[in-house]
Amino acid sequence: MNKKPVNGMRDIMPDEMRLRAYVLGVIRETYRDFGFTEIETPCVESIENLSGKQGGENEKLTFKIMKRGEKLDIEHAEKEMDLVDSGLRYDLTVPLSRFYANHQADLPKPFKALQIGPVWRAERPQKGRFRQFYQCDIDIFGDPSNLAETELILAMCTVLTKIGFKDLVIRINDRRILKAMAVYSGLPEESWEEVFIALDKLDKIGEDGVSAELLSLGMTEDAVAKYMAMFRTAEGEHGADAVSRIADTLGDALDPKVTENMRQIFTLVESAKDVPFELAFDPTLVRGMGYYTGPIFEIAVPEFGSSVGGGGRYDEMVGRFAGQPTPACGFSIGFERIITILLEHGFMIPGTKEKTALLMEKGLSLEKTADVLKLAAKLRAEGKQVLTASMIKNRKFQKEQLQAEGYTDIRDFYENPIER
């Protein structure tokens, strides 16, 4: 028997679980107040759905599940796909699209979904990244208007503010702007995905690094110079005006509806927001998933460096399940990242109940034991969290552990208290 968790996964200890439960509570309640309804899909999806090219690189990381019974024919199996029929989901977006296609007749329209649950990716294990982790997504199906983007931004910023984060920055771009910039610069369409992957590294390798990488991909010097110059066009500005300036440069390469849509999102978000955050246009924002079709966003807490969530519009995915296209837009919170930040900064869970421990000597009479249990019930009725437990031999160790767990009131019960 193996007492370690499987490679790349981990056990979660009580302290962290308390924090997770608290944060999940805030997320659930806040999103519910915004009219999102929670749904759940199985952790297991059929293998077709996990290998249909929706998930890009993630599909290669799928944990696959063996066929069972008569369907499993090891002798004649030639390749992996002969042996498997399903796998663990690598994200919540593919299952949600399947869910919506399956149940849309019974769902409100537009449908505002909240999903929280584990996903699995067989990545090479590394510090702080695990093969099972929670995702926490909100999605709006059936609303083609930018009310969807606006609401997702407002709801997500409200959640993060309630959790305790400050100075939130939402960077926003649009896949169609990304593409128009590539068109305008004369970068050939077949290389766009590679170009965007290079651009995505701007933070890490700088402008020169990106230029060098684009050249090494075989782009012409002219095209690269024209492309990189464009990002400077909007430098220093991050609002709707920056969008307009880029749009002016792009001219016919960009549909004016895209510019107007982005301007409207800025207007709506700025006038309706009731928690503080900054919405910033960032023409260098790429986001990995190929399924995005319109606005894309990423949310960061500058104090903690990295992104804590992101999302975008993906109007085509549901159609692959449902047959008919359905507008869809979603936002995912980096739940594990948030928990890590809160743990590292010693976050205190607000409004925790007073914790009392009632410890009983070994061999305490039935009568006195019953009295202690009755006392525990009484204290619980008064709103306290009450642990009753047998004393162990190492009483000092037991008390220290209870104090570390937050028990401020620890009481001992002996058969003959006076003798002690």
Minimum gap (Å) between residue 226 Cβ and its own copies:
34
Q: For strands 307-313 and 355-360, give the pairing.
A: unpaired
Quick one: 71 or 127, whose CB is closer to its own copies? Answer: 71
Residue partners of 214: CB distance under 8 A and separation at least 6: 187, 195, 198, 223, 224, 227
**DSSP-assigned states of every residue in 170-217:** EEEEEHHHHHHHHHHHT--GGGHHHHHHHHTTHHHHHHHHHHHHHHHT
For residue 328, the surrounding DSSP H or E stretch is: strand 328-333
Minimum gap (Å) between residue 30 Cβ and its own copies:
9
Minimum gap (Å) between residue 359 Cβ and its own copies:
10
Which tokens belong to 240? 């709707």
Quick one: 160 or 219, whose CB is closer to its own copies? Answer: 160
Quick one: 45 or 282, whose CB is closer to its own copies? Answer: 45
Quick one: 201 or 384, whose CB is closer to its own copies? Answer: 384
Which tokens belong to 209? 């690094």
Minimum gap (Å) between residue 303 Cβ and its own copies:
25
Minimum gap (Å) between residue 17 Cβ and its own copies:
4
Collapsed DSSP state (helix, strand, coil) of residue 310: strand
Quick one: 196 or 266, whose CB is closer to its own copies? Answer: 266
- CB-CB contact of 300 with 287 (8 Å): no
Length of the chain: 420
Minimum gap (Å) between residue 116 Cβ and its own copies:
10
Quick one: 232 or 396, whose CB is closer to its own copies? Answer: 396
- CB-CB contact of 318 with 143 (8 Å): no
